[in-house]
Amino acid sequence: MIQDMAILIRKEWKEVVFRRGGGKQSWVSMLILLAMLGVYLPYMSGSEWLQDPIALFAWAWVPLFMTIGLVVDAFAGERERHTLETLLATRLSDTSILLGKIFSSVLYAWSISVICALMGAVTVNILFSTGSFQFYSPGMFFGGLLAVLLVAIFISTIGVFVSLKSATVRQAYQKLNLSIMAIWFIPFILIQAFPDKVQIFFLKISPMLDANLTLIIVGLFGVLIAADIIVLLLAKKRFQRARLILE
Amino acid sequence: MTAQAISTNDLHCQFGEVRAVDGITFEVQTGTLFGFLGPNGAGKTTTIRLLLGLLEPSGGSAQVLGFDTRTQSDEIRLNCGALLEQTGLYERLSAEENLDLFGLIWHIPAQQRTQRVKELLEKMDLYDRRKETVSTWSRGMKQKLAVVRTLMHDPKLVFLDEPTDGLDPVAAAGLREDLVDLARQHGVTVFLTTHNLAEAEKICDRVAVINKGKLLTVGSPDELRLQKSTYSITVVGRGFNEALLTELRAMPDIESAEVQDRHLVVHFKHETDSGTLVQFLAGKGVMIDEVRKGKASLEEAFLALLEEQA
């Protein structure tokens, strides 16, 4: 199954990322992203870039939005272009098609995050040299990469459901963008909407949260892993040949 | 290999109230070209989907290459090639990349894959344009590529849904030859759906007619033609007149007699010898150029079958 997944990942990347002619646009947007997160922002932040959690947010989370285009193209696009049925008529199993497509976008986002992180470190070491090699703390670096992986799996799998419920790529893209925005912003909006008493309570417990930060992060990873497993199982149930062929 | 590449038994497929496939039973012999004919919405594509194990039947059973479509659909897809309603080509990739992808999917080793891609593209006169993005190609070229894609992994059985659709007459004739060659020389079974009845008549060993999910008939194109026009004789000649027609129509064995553009078509109530009619016409001074017995086209037989069902 791993080999079949690799074939599909190669196909998706070739079709969307490395395609000739129309691929220029995706290369340009990728280069802009790398220049922003790997050079410009580290240059503006200096050595802080390697310690500041805000930097982690930039190189680890922003590329996730690039998964949207890829996952939508892999499912809604394939259906819109009438190639999904041909793929379903091959020897590939439902699971290898599903996972191959999900991981094509997951690995894409993850690779960009790794490159951004490494470019940022190189930029800081060149422009703000302290005489010794500067790098992210292991917790920040590996935690960031793990978080990207888990969130990318979550977003891509949600992308499968959204794509299969959308008539066109454009519609799927819009729906998924809105869903991701909602996931990001609804918690902030909800916190603002809480009564003052609740907000004061949060402020009171925040030093306690800081003291147990590692525990909380481990807990969050646990929640993310559980969420990934649940959405992947649901997607596996949803992505059935007999059902897809009739849609 | 089993003698029957495909065998169905009372196969049903129902979507809600709609009976897309309604109890069809037929067999397809290994190494033959089988034409599956029917108007739009007759159930042809659903039948292919059932045979490929893409859909679960609501009733009955089917075996493809000896594998059960319900429980062994993976084995079926491993050994079959399929061109469905759409070409299903990745238009942002080149022709070479498209074929290579399907070679990879079937785990064909790299060297063998390159060789096979070259061989197939050369056969279809597409090799020179192998590096071009498929989206820039004409419909006919895409159709040819889609057909060769189904052959990439040397399947034992290929399902082709309207393979010559969109091809120019020369390309269509070429493809028909290739299909015949596949069946005759390489023992590949070809299951073909087509609206082009002349095409089916030319290349298919056996044909089946389906309409509204029901199988109306199965047999060789000749059998089918004869089934619906056994008792007709067409005489091409000169000297037909109204008095002759009246005389013919009055005969007890004759159902009808019509003249159209020097063609006298006589329908009999039961099977008859053409000699009697020829003798009678010659006696009446008719100049006979040609006599054809029961040689209605497959299209006429097909239309008669549909009319009969309606």
Whether the predicted pLDDT of A132 surpasses 60: yes
3 state SS of B1: coil
Chain A residue nearest residue B82, CA to CA = A89
Q: In this complex, how many residue pairs, one in chain A and one in chain B, have their CB atoms less than 8 Å apart?
A: 67
Residue whose token pair is 């000169």: B238
Name the token pair of B64: 């493809």
> Is the model's pLDDT at B67 over the cut of 90?
yes
Per-residue pLDDT, B75:
92
Quick check: B157 and B78 in contact, CB under 8 A?
no
> Tell me: the pLDDT tens digits for B83-133?
988 888 998 889 999 999 999 999 999 999 999 999 889 888 888 888 888
3-state helix, strand, coil in chain B (%, to 5): 40, 30, 30
pLDDT reading at B230 higher than 60: no
- Tens of pLDDT along A33-51? 888 888 888 888 888 888 8
Of the candidates B225, B93, B16, which has an alpha carbon nearest to the alpha carbon of residue A17?
A: B93
% pLDDT > 90, chain B: 29
Are B54 and A93 a contacting pair at CB < 8 A?
no
Helices (H), chain B: 44-51, 73-79, 95-105, 110-123, 139-151, 169-186, 197-203, 221-229, 242-249, 274-283, 298-309
> Is A70's pLDDT higher than 90?
no
Predicted local confidence at residue A24, as pLDDT? 66
Provide the pLDDT for residue B166: 72
Angle between helices B139-151 and B169-186 (to 10 degrees): 10
Tell me how far apart the 2 most distant CA atoms of chain B are, in Å: 76
Most A CBs within 10 A among B58, B91, B104, hence the mutation to make, goes to B104
Chain B residues with CB under 8 Å of A15 CB are 90, 92-93
Closest CA to B163 of B220, B124, B114: B124
| pTM of structure | 0.79
- Of B23, B14, B5, B102, nearest to B55 by C-alpha is B14
A81 chain-B contacts, CB cut-off 8 A: 90-91
Q: How far is A17 from chain B, CA to nearest CA, in Å? A: 11
d(CA B58, CA B39) in angstroms, rounded, equals 23
Query: What pLDDT does A47 receive?
Result: 83
CA distances from B62 to B72, B130, B178, B187, B203 (A): 11, 38, 28, 21, 25
Please state the rounded mean pLDDT for residues B9-34: 89
pLDDT of A215 > 90? The answer is no
CA distance B268 to chain A (A): 48
Q: Which residues of A touch chain B, with CB atoms under 8 Å apart? A: 3-4, 7, 10-11, 14-16, 19-22, 81-83, 85-93, 241-242, 245-246
Query: Who among B56, B87, B97 is closest to A242 (CB)?
Result: B56
Round to whole Å and give the CA distance between A67 and A153: 9
Average pLDDT over residues B5-13: 91
Interface residue of A11, A79, A92, A93 to substitute, partner B, most B CBs within 10 Å: A11
- CB-CB under 8 Å, B86 with A91: no
Mean pLDDT of chain B: 86
d(CA B122, CA B118): 6
B24-64 residue pLDDT tens:
999 999 888 999 988 888 889 999 999 999 998 999 999 99
B123 to chain A nearest CA, in Å?
22
Per-residue pLDDT averaged across A170-183, rounded? 84
CB B55 within 8 A of CB B21: no
Average of per-residue pLDDT values in chain A: 83
**DSSP assignment string, A89-152:** TSS--HHHHHHHHHHHHHHHHHHHHHHHHHHHHHHHHHHT--SS-----HHHHHHHHHHHHHHH
> What is the C-alpha separation between B163 and B18, in angstroms, rounded?
27
| Gap from B147 CA to chain A (nearest CA, Å) | 12
CB B82 to CB A241 under 8 A? no
Banded model confidence at residue A92, pLDDT cuts 50, 70, 90: very high
**Min distance B169 CA to chain A CA atoms (Å):** 26
Q: Distance from A102 to chain B by nearest Cα, in Å? A: 17
Backbone angles phi, psi at B29, to 5 degrees: -75, 145
- Mean pLDDT, range B297-304, rounded to an integer: 72
Give contacts of B86 with chain A, Cβ < 8 Å.
82-83, 85-86
CB contact under 8 A, A19 and B93: yes
- Beta-bridged to residue B133, according to DSSP, are B94
Closest CA to B181 of B31, B65, B6, B81: B31
**Does the beta-carbon distance from B78 to A91 stay under 8 Å?**
yes
pLDDT-based confidence at residue A226 (cuts at 50, 70, 90): very high
Phi, psi of B187 (to 5 degrees): 70, 15
Report in angstroms the alpha-carbon separations of B213 from B13, B61, B191. 9, 15, 17
How close, in Å, is residue A30 to chain B by CA atoms?
19
Task: Determine the pLDDT at residue A19.
Answer: 63
Q: Is the ipTM of this complex over 0.90?
A: no
Please enumerate residues of B whose Cβ is less than 8 A from a Cβ of A.
15, 49, 52-56, 74, 77-78, 82, 84-93, 97, 101-102, 104-107, 133
Q: Which residues pair with B162 in a beta bridge?
A: none
Q: Look at residues A18, A29, A97, A39 and name the one whose alpha carbon lies nearest to residue A65.
A: A29
Rounded distance, CA A223 to CA B142, Å? Answer: 48
Q: Report the pLDDT value the prediction gives residue A18, as an integer from 0 to 100.
A: 64
Give the pLDDT score at B144.
86
